[in-house]
Amino acid sequence: MSKKAIKDTSTEEKIKQAARIVFTKKGFAATRTRDIAEEAGINLALLNYYFRSKEKLFQQVMMEKVQMIFGVLFPIANNSETTLEEKVALIVENYVDLLLLNPDLPLFVLSEIRNNPEHFENKVGINMIKQSSLISQLKEKRADVNPIQFLISLLGMTIFPFVASPMLHAAGLVEGNEFTSLMQQRKQLIPLWINSILDCK
């Protein structure tokens, strides 16, 4: 690979990294391309050379983040080799690990999805979850449980604490690394709670 190609790749990645930071802090509407250029330590002309518009750069960054958050769910949900209980445990464990590394991810993705739900649905194919092994196993175990209620509960219990984290810290309910410890504990607690609900008839 030529030195020029390496330099170009490095600059493009630097711009994308800066865009991730600024878009996450400010959201799409409040972000200016000048903000991203300043974060990346480059001039505006160079940013425009790599990415012709804020929209184009945002779409790339947004889809990376959406794929991160839903990339956890789909492979596990579609694995016919694992039981329903194993799927629940894997989903919780993988989401907790992902979000401890990317705590701003849920709020950013949910906020932007709310602003443009059609674009999100077309790109991600969230409706495909209805045909997953996870939903089939749930129907076999508890035909009386609405699969949407199940998913809302599972994902809500796992993801919402990260959305609420700033409030928990501001209220003094958690301090320092206590939040991380609580989230690690939820890896065991959430599957227990979910399985208790499924076993209760």
For residues 168 and 91, membership in a common domain is answered with yes
Count of domains observed in the chain: 2
Residues 54-109 pLDDT 10s = 888 888 888 788 788 888 888 999 999 999 999 999 999 999 999 999 888 888 77
Domain that holds residue 17: 3-52
Of 121, 117, 123, 149, nearest to 135 (Cα)?
A: 149
In a domain, 58, yes or no: no
Residues 96 and 193 in one domain: yes
Residue 57 lies in a domain: no
Token pair of 91, please?
């989903």
Rounded Cα gap, residues 57 and 47, in angstroms: 10
Domain co-membership, 43 together with 88: no
Together in a domain, 75 and 48: no
Per-residue confidence (pLDDT) for residue 6, from 0 to 100: 40
Residue 95: inside a domain, yes or no? Answer: yes
Same domain? For 72 and 41 the reply is no
**What per-residue confidence (pLDDT) applies to 3?**
43
What would the DSSP string read from start to end of 83-130? -HHHHHHHHHHHHHHHHHH-TTHHHHHHHHHHH-HHHHHHHH-GGGGG
Residues 23 and 103 in one domain: no
* Closest C-alpha among 63, 89, 66 to residue 76: 89
The neighbour count for residue 38, using CB atoms within 10 Å, is: 15
Q: Which two tokens stand for residue 72?
A: 């956890």
pLDDT digits (tens), the chain, 201 positions: 444 444 456 888 999 989 988 988 888 888 899 999 999 999 999 998 998 888 888 888 887 887 888 888 889 999 999 999 999 999 999 999 999 998 888 887 777 777 767 666 666 656 778 889 999 999 999 999 999 999 999 999 999 999 999 999 999 999 988 999 999 999 999 999 999 989 886
Cα distance between residue 51 and residue 10, in whole Å: 14
Give residue 176's region: left, alpha or beta (phi > 0; psi -120 to 50). Answer: left
